[in-house]
Every structure is written in structure tokens, then in C-alpha cells.
A and B are shown apart, each in its own frame.
Chain A
């Protein structure tokens, strides 16, 4: 009996929270055939939003990959005071609301702050522009690569690296030939997660971008703006596109799950 109740609750839960919304969006999107969907997504505004999303997410993923691998190496291999503090700081973006992040960035890099003013005098505009959006996205997706790589690096140990050193390899050669291949699956997993998070980011980017249509509008902002302006076909088309990207990345993470690949050759 209890089993049936549990099953019923689960089905209702999943139905109302997941299946129904996704199905409705898909139905609304493709209700009038593929034509309107393609048309809505190829409007100049939509294409521009795609471009901005890809640029911002691309830079954010690149930055977080480089930083993530470096921070993971530092956390696992390094011995320095404040290591636990660094570990805690890296997890901070998980706990802080993206809107807060956005506001904080405006405080630091806005036109009327010292740092922002200085950058502005050099001709670099951070807030209401791509750099600010990249920084915001980097911040919210910061822990993903680090947290994917750290356990694998711990599991790997440092004996292989020491062996490589005694065989004449420099630090860079050891990293490229030994460490990187050792963490490649975990790194791939972290990068995909980071990409998914960056593509879907809304709150922090909404604050720092200023939501300038055809300028700083990402795909998520585009969905919101179109919806507010009663252009539902465009909003739903873009939302479906985002959902499709999410499904693809989800499949990729399943493929790359580090647990299954830890000693896969």
C-alpha cells in the first residue's frame, strides 16, 4: 500500500513540476509547425542574443577551466596556510544568490566606483557590457570545474608526477603528459557542467547587463523580455532552444561521468 502511495506521489510530482511544463512549452512552440519556430529564432534580436550567449559562456568556460584546474591542483597538491579557507571560498557562489553577485559587481566595477572609474578612463566598460557579463558568469559557475577535478586528482596521487620528474620531465611536461590525461574525464565533465550553468545563467547577468536589447541581451534575457512584451512565440521558441541545449549537455555529462571512468583507459 505504502509503495503505491509513494509511487503515486512521485508520478504526480514529476508530472506537474517537470513533464507538464516542458510538454506545454514544446506544444506551444511547435503548435503551428516548424515554420514559426525557425522564424522566431532567426529574427535579428534572437540571433544577436544567441551570439552574446555564446561569447559570454565561451569566455566564462575558458576562464573557469584554466582557473578550475589551477585551483584544484593548489587545493590537492599545495601546502600553504589558508588552504581550507580557499576551499570554502570556492564554494561560495553555490550559496550566494546570483542577484547579489550582480549587485556586488556593480558596486566594484560600476562607473562611479574607483575601480570602474579607472577602467572607464582606459576605455574599458565593464558594467552594461560583455566583460561584466563574463565576470558575473565566471563567478556563478566557479566551483563546477574545481569540484569535478579535485576528487580525481586526490585519487590519482602524486607518485606518477614524481616518477615523471625523476625521468627528466619538467613541471609543464609532467602536467601535459601525466596530470592532464589523468583528469581528462573529470575535466570534461566539469567543463560541460560549467557550460550548462553559463548558458542558463539569468540573475547575475540580468543585473550587470542592463538588459539592452540587441546589445547585452543573452538568450535567457531574450526569453524574459519577449514574454513581457507579449511575443509568446519568440519566448517559447527561445525557451525550447535553451531546453534542447540543456538536454544535450545532460547527455554529455552522463557520457563523461567521472565515477564510471576513473581508471578507464
Chain B
């Protein structure tokens, strides 16, 4: 295990932030800490980095008890949401910082920094200052800076949170590819479930300071531990007292076994998919169908249809 967190508790004043959190991160994996804001995910990441000290519990990094170690001795790379660029140093000196602290020979530093700048596509901007870079470029510089010291684990705190949607998407794909090249154990914090599913190979869902579920993106999406996780990971709707994904619902004009009747209230065409809004059992629900399906059924407001979860679809019974 690259990181083992055991029974960590942490409060800020009287506010509990982490409650008995345990977590294992396998070496070489790319793990997402996913959850709503205030769920404790950033605090957990900072505890792993040594930037916060847990009230109780232990943190082991590469088998070594790091609970009492200062951040400078943990061998972690940390990337901040707002880049934390050293404003008075050039891109080159920013990336070289950790190596200069370690008093590596000048030519070795030069070689390593240029290698990393090529990896993050900033080799042409080595002499610029951070204020002359875009947000995405600053974050790539921060990543190169963290990687320069060859950390045992790389920790990213909402790394794309301050970037606009387009750059966010690009950097996401790029981070995944980078990880496939570099293979350093990576943990990143995000509140964006799409980002977690797309980039990570393990997702840890944190809410209310506790680990709610951990598993591969597929597992967490298909077998959510509770309604909260199911809602957080993707769209859901409620039919027949169960929580179902809107794309996992069979819709038919005739009564079916285990189906619930519903009245169509609106049909919205969103490009390739069609959203059928219905009323069933006294509340609103919606079903996602393909355009072809919608055309075949010829649905319109006021039609009565019958809904049931598709065979093999995961649904969660809601406690009434």
C-alpha cells in the first residue's frame, strides 16, 4: 500500500471534519476523493500531506508511519487549487525549487527541469513569470514542480477547480495520460463526479467526514452503497418507491409486470437523447430514452405509460 490511513479523526475547534476515516491507496493507482463541499475530502488530503495534523489515528506512506512527520519529510508532492505559484521566481526556478533545496548539482537540475517542462508542455515558457501564464499553464507548472522531487505520492487538491470548463476537460484527459506515463501514486480531490469517473481508477466517496463507499468508478456507479452515493454519482429518478437511473427504465404503452402507471407531462428533445417527464404515484419522475425510441412510441403530454426498471438495472429501494 502506498498510503494507509487508519481511524483518523480531525476537528477544527468544535466542528468535527473527519470521523474515523480509514483509507487504503494501492501503489501506482489514481484515486479520486469525491464528495460534496464540506465533506472533509480536502482535509483528508491535507492530513495525508502533513499540512494538517490528525487529532487521532495514523497515516502510513510507503509502509512508514508518517503521522508525526512534517510535510518536508514525507516525500509527497502537493498541488493546490489556486496553484500556489512562487510569484517572484520564473517557471524554471519554480520547478527547480525542490531540487535546489536538495542541493543537486546545477547541470542535473537543468536537465531534470527541462525534462519535466517538456512533459507538461511548458519548455518554451521556462523564463516567464507565473503572472505571465494562463491558469491552465500555471497548474501544469505546479504539477511539474511537485513531480520534480520524485514524490512517493502525488496529492492534488481540486486541481482544476479554478479553471474554466474547456481547459478543465483538456487537463483532465491530460492528467490521465500523464499518470499512465509517470505511474506515481496519485490522489486527487474533486466534487465533480464526471471528473472522478473519467480520470480515476478508484473512487472514494466522502460525505459528512466519513468514507461512504470506495471502489472502481463502475462499481460505485452501478452498486451505490446508499441513495446518497447514487444521487451524487449521476442522475436518478424515483419510480415505484425505488431510486433508478433514468436511462435504466423501460417505458411501454401497455401494462407490464412490476410496472407502475405514469402520465406524461412533457417531452424534451435534447439532441441525441429525449427526456420524458412523467407523473407517477403522486410525484414527478423522468425517463431518458433515445430519439428512435421516442419516435416509435410517439409520446405526447397526457399519454398514459407504464414504467419499470430495465432487467439487470440497479435500483435502490427507498425507505418509506
Write the nearest CB–CB distance from B51 to chain A, whole angstroms: 6
A173 proximity list for chain B (CB < 8 A): 101
B72 lies within 8 A of A263 (CB): no
B76 proximity list for chain A (CB < 8 A): 166
**How many A residues are at the interface, by size bracket?**
10 to 19
B71 proximity list for chain A (CB < 8 A): 162, 165-166
The contact sample of 30 A-B pairs, CB cut-off 8 A, is A159-B84, A160-B86, A160-B87, A162-B80, A162-B84, A163-B78, A163-B80, A163-B84, A163-B86, A164-B97, A166-B51, A166-B77, A166-B78, A166-B146, A167-B72, A167-B97, A167-B101, A167-B146, A167-B148, A168-B73, A168-B98, A168-B101, A168-B149, A169-B72, A169-B101, A170-B72, A177-B97, A263-B131, A265-B87, A265-B88
Decide if B278 is an interface residue (CB 8 Å cutoff).
Answer: no
Provide the bound-state CA to CA distance between A182 and B87, in Å.
Answer: 8
Q: From the candidates A160, A162, A167, A181, name the one contacting B51 in the complex (CB within 8 A).
A: A162
What mask results when residues 44 to 59 of chain B are scored 1 for a CB within 8 Å of chain A, else 0? 0000011100000000
B145 proximity list for chain A (CB < 8 A): 163, 167
Interface residues in B33-85 (C-beta closer than 8 Å to A):
49-51, 70-74, 76-78, 80, 82, 84-85
Provide the bound-state CA to CA distance between A167 and B82, in Å.
Answer: 17
What mask results when residues 252 to 265 of chain A are scored 1 for a CB within 8 Å of chain B, else 0? 00000000000101
- Closest B residue, CB atoms, query A180: B88
- Closest A residue, CB atoms, query B79: A163
Provide the bound-state CA to CA distance between A173 and B102, in Å.
Answer: 11
B131 lies within 8 A of A159 (CB): no
Decide if B232 is an interface residue (CB 8 Å cutoff).
Answer: no
Interface residues in A140-163 (C-beta closer than 8 Å to B):
159-160, 162-163
The residue among A164, A181, A182 with the most chain B CB atoms within 10 A of its own CB is A164
Provide the bound-state CA to CA distance between A182 and B154, in Å.
Answer: 26
Q: Which 8 A-B pairs have the closest CB atoms?
A: A167-B98, A159-B84, A163-B84, A166-B78, A165-B71, A181-B88, A265-B129, A166-B71
B73 proximity list for chain A (CB < 8 A): 168
Q: From the candidates B50, B88, B146, name the one contacting A182 in the complex (CB within 8 A).
A: B88
A159 lies within 8 A of B82 (CB): yes
Decide if A246 is an interface residue (CB 8 Å cutoff).
Answer: no
Provide the bound-state CA to CA distance between A134 and B146, in Å.
Answer: 47
A242 proximity list for chain B (CB < 8 A): none
B87 lies within 8 A of A263 (CB): yes
Decide if A178 is an interface residue (CB 8 Å cutoff).
Answer: yes
A165 proximity list for chain B (CB < 8 A): 50-51, 70-72
- Closest B residue, CB atoms, query A161: B84
B78 lies within 8 A of A168 (CB): no
Provide the bound-state CA to CA distance between A165 and B49, in Å.
Answer: 10
